[in-house]
Chain A
Amino acid sequence: MIPLSEDPFYLIEKWLKAKEFLVIGKSIQRIDAFEKVTGKAKFMEDYVLPNMVYVKLVLSSEPHARIKAIDVGRALKIRGVVGVLTAKDIPGENQVGYALPDQPLLAEGKVRYAGEPIALVAAEEPEIAFEASLAIKIDYEPLPPLLDPLEAMKRTDVLVHDERGSNIAFTTRVRKGDVTEGFRVADVIVKNEYRTQHQEHAYLETEGALAIPEIGGRITIISCAQYPHLAQAITARVLGIPASRIRIVQPYIGGGFGGKDDMGPLVAAKAALAAYKIGRPALLIYSREESMKSHCKREASIIRYKSGATKEGKLTAIEVEIIMDTGAYANRGPFILWRATMHASGPYEVPNAKVDGYCVYTNKVYQGSFRGFGNPDVQFAAEAQMDELANKLGMDPVEFRLKNILRPGSLTITSQLLDHSVGIAEALEIVAQRASWKEKRALYSKMKGRFRRGIGVACAWHGISTSRGVPDWSNAFIKIEKDGSIHVFTGIVEIGQGSPTTSHVQIVSEVLGVPVNYINMYFGTSDAPDTGATHASRGTSIGAIGVLVAAAKLRERLNKLAAELLECRPEEVIVRNGKAFVKGREEKYIMWKDLIKEAYARGIEMSATGFFFLPKGTFDHEKGQGFAYPAYSYIVNIAEVEVDIETGIVRVLRMWPALASGRIINPLAVEGQIEGAIAQGMGLALMEKVEFDERGVVINANFTDYVVPTIMDMPKVEKPVYVEDLFKYGPFGAKGVGEMALIPTPAAIANAVTHAIGIRVTELPLTPEKVYFLIRKRKMKG
């Protein structure tokens, strides 16, 4: 039996119940801010080592072809070339697929998309590596490329993966109630097809890794991954050596957004392969073009959606088909599809639901993790449906949503009972008021003239943690040094979001009662216990539980010691500003440093881990029913737009976000996440699209042709509404924020544009051209 003072459940609950805070809920400064404004913050490319070789990728020019021969002879003759590596040089397994074992590190026998890595060239200088990469000749036998997922689904004569026998990589389903009956009792039914497009992460820093051979046959990799232990595992598999010989260290990362979750391990493994074979430090950095052509993208989806409601405004049924173009490899596509499927209803109660999902191979760059993970597409469709139903019913869209919205006690689409932490109804009510929703909706409906305004609302939910019963845990290691300074080890990565550099620091500072400058964060490393990935908005939620638990264990020990020294009960000990004292009698105190000294002197262990294994329920895969996620974060966005009906240009004027994601640990950091997510969501809604030519080659692999929002495009973003619907296992009740504001942004903007022009938009991005033709179509119809 673990004593209570070491039991994670007890400790999490104890701190959840805290009423007064020292630093939680305050906008403390990021601890990396000073380094970042002075240009001293080290990113991957800033590590320069003597004797290092530069690695360059050789990418496939063909979308689908057999590799007949790879001629590296000429490249090897170039002065300064140190080595060329292909699949046959891989000592371990050439297998890096996450969801399915379908993906090689370097193409073997066949290429499946233009941009697929085939070989690595290592040289003394980057210019030489580049020259040598051009000298490598690959002899291809072209195969017909499959580019359209709808076609690929049907064909078996051409297969992206011959051994799989079908181009459908994965399917998902939900069967809840009886949809036939649900539609029979509906008074209104709406049916539409929605389409979303591939989005590029466009992190300002491209992918990279530096692998360094070390003593004892170890390899240290300075990498840009979002999950150091996964980079470690994948590299070990590729090299055929034990994971314990690989050490992952992460500098600051120039943006991740999910892309580096998928790419980080693959890039680390490539650099490590070169270092391992050549025996020298090896640096691999993707050029922008290589990055855009070869790294995974947000999925492109086709969503067919039918929904029904009664005239009283109650949803009766939904029937949804989701087809995702996963490109050449499954990568995380099956998980993305799974998430989209289980969120297909939007944050609403619906008694009858049938959802079918298909993840389909094509010969395009593969789909991967991107902020929102399948959910922005499906919320775009679901929220368009909600507006259309409200419209048919003659109801206000907000009122209609409130009649169906999830509340404590609701059953989700997977029949999961939500017993607590469901604050979205309140968030929607408050934000609609703040935005003067009713007045604006009425006013803009009557607008005339060239510039039309519209206001749109979208709600979203997002399950936190991994799905179903898939194990999820948290951990951290904290040691208090003899001088009282605190060393925190976590696998959570700093990708800009600020989890290890703000909220983790705040949690430790709060729990131990010490100023933040006592705390040194060592983050993003495989030296820490496996903390899980920095994805799925879990950095400050699940990812931070370990930090909380480890700190709380140490605090229990210190409370006991302080109680002895101060002659009071442990519950009476307060630690604040590095001073332990008796509650109500501040004159009876001991300084933090002395307390720690005393702990060392008495043999009290001043280090602790914070392992916590998240309890989960069961899930029936046949029916897609059961426990889908431990909790959900919720968000509402209201968007106000202006459409120039002469040109089709859409301008987003103002956004009102409202978040119900548990405790807000650092409001300034949360605002930053919301604003950045809105920008990215607006890019997806209005302008961003990876374009392919007729052979499936990405043709806009640069920032001139692939347009991301600039400072000129940004709307005014209002201060967020927070409903702190605490989650019982979150650190101080936090549920996760990072992805949230992106998820309903395309939907809110699309609904606002629809309001402005009076015609339903069903396909993203809403480029001027697309909007213009929609407007013309309406006029032509009179």
Chain B
Amino acid sequence: MIVSFKLNGELVEVDVPPNMTLLDVLRRKLGILSVKRGCERGECGACTVLINGDPVCSCLVLAPQAEGKEIITLEYLSKNGEIHPIQEAFIEAGAIQCGFCTPGFILTAYALLKRNPNPTIDEIKKALEGNLCRCTGYIKIIEAIQLAAKKLQRYSR
């Protein structure tokens, strides 16, 4: 079947089997490789994308459910070699190790900071509860998001 949606600001149309997950549509049909496959059960958050601004596990979404939606993946955040302040913050805070969870965390943080530009530690934790990271122990990820919030406020001023 033909499914069409907005992907990182561009309209796309794909011909896919109706039982294909959005994760597979993105990775296998559209070559969006920043979306990672960690569990395929909605448990790890590695496959997170933003659908109409909300973080969603793309492994739990079937292709037809994406129809007409606005989908954002990590590719959207950096343009012409310029990275987003959240990405900068992840680098500076040392919030990256293996990097497999990183796209999911950055997108979830992006959605959080859009909604709540100045989150408390507890609000950060709540927002990222569904993203697993086995390497960092999360501490530097929290620090990165705090740093990103500061950076974004500085930019918006």
Contact = CB atoms under 8 A, between A and B. Distances in A.
14 contacts: A32-B99, A36-B102, A37-B78, A37-B91, A37-B96, A37-B102, A40-B34, A48-B31, A205-B98, A257-B134, A288-B40, A668-B94, A676-B136, A702-B43
A495 interface: yes
A1 interface: no
A201 to B, nearest CB: 8
B13 to A, nearest CB: 21
Contact of A671 (B39, B91, B94): B94
B98 A255 contact: yes
A204 interface: yes
Interface stretch (A238-246, A272-280, A709-717, A721-729): A709-717
A708 B41 CA distance: 15
Interface string B31-64: 1011011111101101000000000000000000
A703 interface: yes
Contacts of B149: none
A714 B134 contact: no
A702 B39 contact: yes
Nearest to A35: B99
A717 B139 contact: yes
A708 B132 contact: yes
A173 B106 CA distance: 50
Interface string B97-138: 111111100100000000000000000111011111111111
Given A39-B74, A711-B125, A205 B102 contact: no
A677 B137 contact: yes
B87 interface: yes
B94 A204 contact: no
Contacts of A679: 134, 136-138
Interface string A193-218: 00000000111111000000000000
A692 interface: no
B17 to A, nearest CB: 8
A498 B99 contact: no
A202 B134 contact: yes
Contacts, number: 161
Interface of B: 27, 31, 33-34, 36-41, 43-44, 46, 73-75, 77-78, 83, 87-88, 90-92, 94, 96-103, 106, 124-126, 128-142
A204 B87 contact: no
A711 B129 contact: yes
A48 B26 CA distance: 14
Interface string A659-686: 0000000001101100111111000000
B140 A252 contact: no
Given A496-B97, A704-B43, A38 B139 contact: no
A253 interface: yes
Contacts of A498: 97
A445 interface: no
Interface string A280-305: 00000001100000000000000000
For A35, A204, A253, A498, which residue has the most chain B Cβ atoms within 10 angstroms? A204
B137 A714 contact: yes
A48 B32 CA distance: 12
Interface in A219-264: 252-255, 257
Contacts of B94: 27, 30, 668-669, 671-672
A408 B142 CA distance: 40
B97 A672 contact: yes
A38 B140 contact: no
A202 B133 CA distance: 9
A676 B36 contact: no
Interface residues of A, number: 55
Contacts of B130: 710
Nearest to A666: B94
Interface of A: 27, 29-30, 32-43, 45-46, 48, 201-206, 252-255, 257, 287-288, 495-498, 668-669, 671-672, 675-680, 702-704, 708-712, 714, 717
Contact of B139 (A32, A40, A202, A675): A675
Contacts of B92: 29
Mostly, the B contact residues are: loop
Contacts of B40: 287-288
Given A203-B134, A711-B131, A495 B98 contact: yes
Given A39-B34, A675-B139, A676-B136, A712 B41 contact: no
B116 to A, nearest CB: 16
Contact of A254 (B100, B126, B137): B100
Nearest to A125: B28
Given A38-B87, A672-B94, A496 B129 contact: no
Nearest to B43: A703
Q: Rank and list the top 5 A-B pairs by shortest CB-CB distance, nearest first.
A: A39-B34, A496-B98, A254-B100, A36-B99, A679-B137
B132 A710 contact: yes
Nearest to B136: A676
B21 to A, nearest CB: 12
B138 to A, nearest CB: 4
Contacts of B100: 43, 203-205, 252, 254-255, 496
Given A205-B38, A711-B141, A676 B97 contact: yes
Contacts of A703: 39, 41, 43-44, 132
Contacts of A671: 94, 140
Nearest to B140: A672
B141 to A, nearest CB: 7
A712 B132 CA distance: 11
Given A34-B91, A37-B83, A496-B97, A675 B136 contact: yes
A711 B140 CA distance: 11
Nearest to B41: A702
Contacts of B74: 38-39
Given A253-B98, A702-B41, 4 more contacts: A34-B91, A37-B87, A37-B88, A204-B98
Nearest to A127: B17
Contact of B96 (A30, A202, A678): A30
B98 A252 contact: yes
A711 B131 CA distance: 8
A30 B137 CA distance: 18
Given A204-B132, A672-B140, A45 B37 contact: yes
A43 B96 CA distance: 15
B27 to A, nearest CB: 8
B112 to A, nearest CB: 12
Contacts of A33: 90-91, 96
B101 to A, nearest CB: 5
Contacts of B78: 37-38
A714 B96 CA distance: 17
B37 to A, nearest CB: 6
Contact of B129 (A29, A678, A710): A710
B62 to A, nearest CB: 14
Contact of B103 (A39, A287, A704, A712): A39
Contacts of A717: 137, 139
For B38, B131, B137, B138, which residue has the most chain A Cβ atoms within 10 angstroms? B137
Nearest to A291: B39
A714 B138 contact: yes
Nearest to B31: A48
B137 A36 contact: no
Nearest to B32: A39
B36 A714 contact: no
A711 B96 CA distance: 15
A678 B43 contact: no
Contacts of A34: 83, 91
A680 B134 contact: yes
For B97, B102, B124, which residue has the most chain A Cβ atoms within 10 angstroms? B97
A204 B139 contact: no
A520 B140 CA distance: 26
A254 B135 CA distance: 9
Given A254-B98, A288-B40, A712-B125, A37 B90 contact: yes
Contacts of B128: 711
Given A43-B36, A252-B98, A703-B39, A204 B136 contact: no
Given A45-B37, A703-B39, A36 B134 contact: no
